[in-house]
Amino acid sequence: MHSDIHAKDPRCQKSFSIVIPAYNEEDSIGQCLASICSVNFPMQAFEVIVVDNGSTDRTLEMAASFADRLNLKILQKRDCHISAVRNFGAARAEGTYLAFLDADMLVGQDWLARAVSHLSKDTAGIIGGTHRIPENSTWVVRAWFQERLAERQGHVSYVSSGNLLMSRANFILLGGFDEGIETNEDCDLCYRAQAAGLPVLSLPEISAVHLGFPSTLLEFFRKEQWHGKSVFSVFLRNVRALQNVRAVSFGGYYLLCIAAVLLGLAIAAFSRNFITLSLALLAAIFPPLVLSAVVSIRRRRLALWLQLTVLYLMYGVARGVCLLDVRTWVRQ
């Protein structure tokens, strides 16, 4: 009788394939794989697939050092978007469920055990875990990410592909990640899942620590500029569905602000009339001031107001600059 129960227990079959894309991750992939070694889940019930996208550092060496501790596959898929890297790993997966994990994520001991309790339900679609910030994070991380990500629970429009889990059957049904876009592939997949009737859930119980949060203003700007690259192209595919409409609108507004500031500078230089420049700067700073005030009051942390104002302004400018790249206007 014990053996019959054991045979039916999904924890004792090849339940999960953990797909980890990697590119120059020598500083974090060892920590990521070490956290997976500590999960409270039968070792024979999951595999880890590291897919390297042409790393030039010690990423492959660091990953290979875990070969005797994990059921590990190391593959290479060079010179392509991260969506293609993830698809490449998923195509070679043997598990019933796919767990997409970034190489700079640290999972908890109950990560897989809690995930399988959700994924084994007949109504399961896509689930993801919130990203927790590391200890000793900078003010940029604490102000922008800490509570913002913690608030995304329950039914959501999308979950990040840095910690995204679903059945392999549903992944195949949806056609996997869109390899034609450089970023925003997780949003696109989740939108298609919901259109197919599959729910998307963000679950705090399968959260993971994200080591890769941008810690400085410059890193934050570059990260948001990169994240926004494919937002507009995804929006254009189905305008009626209003996918990414808020992000596109915010970026479009700041593109206009940037143009107005440049025009104001030109007018001021030739005529010493600063009215246009002043109005343009006011238009740029007003939304961050309001948004940061609302968030600070809701969190009951008024000290965040100035910090969030700066970050919302940087976010808006970064997303506006994205739209200047014509490649973001078409499917990549």
Final residue of a structural domain among 174, 199, 215: 215
pTM for this model (two decimals)? 0.84
Phi, psi values for residue 310, rounded to 5°? -60, -45
**Confidence at residue 181, expressed as pLDDT on a 0 to 100 scale:** 83
In a shared domain, residues 113 and 10: yes
Looking at the structure, tell me whether residues 203 and 255 fall in a common domain: no
Q: Which residues pair with 201 in a beta bridge?
A: 127, 155
In which band, very low, low, confident or very high, does the pLDDT at 249 lie, cut at 50, 70 and 90? confident
Last residue of a domain, one of 177, 200, 215: 215
Q: How far lies 187's CA from each of 73, 111, 312, in Å?
A: 27, 22, 21
pLDDT score for 13: 59
Burial profile 223-259: b = 16 or more Cβ within 10 angstroms, e = fewer: ebbebbbbbbbbbeeeeeeebbeebbebbebbbebbe
- 87: domain CATH number is 3.90.550.10
Distances, alpha carbon 26 to alpha carbons 86, 105, 149, 325, in Å: 19, 13, 26, 31
Tell me the average pLDDT across 44-62: 96
Do residues 165 and 74 both lie within one domain? yes
> Of 198, 215, 232, which marks where a domain is finished?
215
For the residues 155-164, what does the mean pLDDT come to? 92
Q: What span, in angstroms and rounded, lies between the C-alpha atoms of 149 and 306?
A: 20
Q: Which of 80-84, 217-221, 294-298 has the lowest mean pLDDT?
A: 294-298
247, 246, 166, 241: which is closest to 203 by C-alpha? 166
230 occurs within a structural domain: no
* pLDDT number for residue 105: 97
Tally of domains within the chain = 2
- Residue 111 resides in a domain: yes
Q: Are residues 110 and 179 in the same domain?
A: yes
Q: Are 166 and 32 found together in one domain?
A: yes
Residue 45 above 50 pLDDT? yes
Helix locations, 15-110, DSSP H? 29-37, 59-64, 82-91
Question: Among candidates 127, 191, 132, which has minimal Cα distance to 157?
Answer: 191
Q: Kindly state whether residues 257 and 112 are assigned to the same domain.
A: no
- The residue with tokens 């254009």 is 236
Q: What local confidence, expressed as pLDDT, does residue 152 receive? A: 67
Q: Which domain holds residue 70?
A: 2-215
Instruction: Indicate whether 232 belongs to any domain.
Output: no
Residue 180 predicted with pLDDT over 90: no
Are both 259 and 191 inside the same structural domain? no
Distance CA 310, CA 326 (A): 27
Q: How many CA atoms lie within 13 A of 234 on its CB side?
A: 27
Q: Average pLDDT in the 51-60 region? A: 95
The per-residue pLDDT for range 123-148, each reduced to its tens digit, is 899 999 888 899 889 999 999 987 66
Query: What pLDDT is stored for residue 326 in this prediction?
Result: 56
Residues 208 and 274 in one domain: no
% the chain with pLDDT above 70:
87
| One domain, residues 209 and 254 | no
Shared domain for 30 and 165, answered yes or no, is yes
Same domain, 139 and 286: no
What would the mean pLDDT of 234-249 be, rounded to a whole number? 70
Residue 5 has pLDDT above 50, yes or no: no
Cα end-to-end distance, the chain, whole Å = 55
Residue of 274, 235, 275 lying closest to 252 (CA atoms): 235
